Structure 1
Amino acid sequence: MSENQNLLAEQRRALILDEVRRRGGVRVNELTRRLNVSDMTIRRDLDALARQGVIEKVHGGAVPVVEASTHEPGFEAKSALELSAKEDIARTAAAMAQPGSAIALSGGTTTYALARHLLEVPDLTVVTNSVRVADVFHDAQRPASGRAARPGTATVVLTGGVRTPSDSLVGPVADRAIDSLHFDLLFLGVHGISAEAGLSTPNLAEAETNRRFVRSARRVVVVADHTKWGTVGLSSFATLDEVDAFVTDAGLTAGAREEITEHLPGLVVAGEAREPQESREAHGAREAAGETVHPG
């Protein structure tokens, strides 16, 4: 009896590990339905796999353990992480978008959350390389049963390109499209952000596409939860000097806040009071005039 149970557990854990690696992450509730076992059984399996060092447990599920600089989790795996933080960040960042402006949104689960809040901002022109972000605006303008469509929510331009695990479109086609455009504001999701490496991603093609986004924007706002600070991906695509504001959540430590404000004119912690935001040009002009400038 005991041997059979152990064998079944080994088979089940092998299936779980294969699913984690294939999809870039899994959720506990998905595994319970697929394997027809209890929540507690799945959690014990994840504990055992984590002790083996082949997965990393996260809230509500697990992701594979690989080299941090090259690992790119899938969209579904990332969407289960830091949900409340992303919602706070999205709500705060949406207030920066002015009606009638041209904005760009990069790929990522935080920009996906932001897109839902931007539905309330009228007359936007939105350029994105995220299939998921484009779907948010498309679905809002499409009539559904019992609900009228939102007319004129936004004009949306989806770049072409090669699709990444995070459902972003990257590569030469996307790069050429972005090069021909100019944005009032760019909302940029990142894999990692640090003082030394700046903004980085594990995907080389995505790094180049993000460089084009930054180059084409008058104002750059990074939207990322506190776990992204100190993370470094394979390829850097922008320095902190190229960023106007970093919108994050209250989980950011005091030490990290101090380090960030040494490099960025605008640290915005969602849910906390802040001074009105200003551009890096205005910030630099005030510093040159000898004024004391406090981070926003």
Structure 2
Amino acid sequence: MRSFQEFVDGAGQPLVRDGFNVFQVNMGYVCNLRCRHCHLEAGPDRREAMSREVVDDCLRFAAAAGTIDVDITGGAPEANENLTYFIGELRRLPNVKRIIVRSNLAILEEPGKTHLPEFFADHGVEIVSSMPCYLEDNVAAQRGEGIYGKNIGVLQRLNELGFGTGKLKLHLVYNPGGAYLPGPQAELEADYKKNLGDSFGIRFDSLFTIANMPIGRFRSDLEDQGQLAGYTDMLAESSNARNLAQVMCRSQISVDWQGRLFDCDFNQALGQPAVEGTIGNVTVKDLMGLPIRCGDHCFACTAGSGSSCQGSFDK
């Protein structure tokens, strides 16, 4: 199998950061779930959480970064006690265009978290909700028994608050349940909207399809089933050079709970920082024009229709 670097060299499209419009902040690896496809291996047993000091460094970085979206993730970002402070301070920054929170939904029913949907609504937060399937059995296989019902209840509550039904944006995320690529995003979105709408009256704005990275818990699952080599070969063989122009690492930076900087959340999971130093002593100017750190896991972003945190490149 050719390496990803050989694929990039053959395409004649060197990967460098040639823009910056998305600041992705990972607030830690604590999560109420242990999803089978999680690249960070997040879960209830993790203790890594971003401190107020690092949050303040992120705010200073964001304030000086020009017009940006701030994409907040985890683990479950809601598990971090500094989340509401962070969002409140971000909302004061005129250059921050969108504040996005990536939620597994089920955590919004946990004790001490039930107030967050109203908080998100009051602060104009855009919610990206992981919902691996519109069928209960498939969600249970990836996320555990009982999670589907919690997700449905939270989605209905978000609709009541105006998410997915008006100005407040609500997006769902589909991850494949096995060693295959997502189907066409537009077709899956139509299926989700029909099934969730007909069965539960749920509405949402759009569906993002994201290919599973062969790292973390998903990699272990592939190894246990003897499917790792087949999956990685499939990613390489189905990769398309045209997708290199749209990969998210060209225009974003990811920061971890300690303030270290990465080209993406996946490189963060692998411990491959983009630069030395931390968010407290690095500026946007320091990051521009730098080559992206690549590995064979990057084929997951260029395979098929392409994949990013905003879904398929083929809209």
TM-score (norm 2): 0.28
TM-score (norm 1): 0.29
The answer to which structure, 1 or 2, has the higher relative contact order (CA under 8 A, 6+ apart) is 2
More strand by share: 1
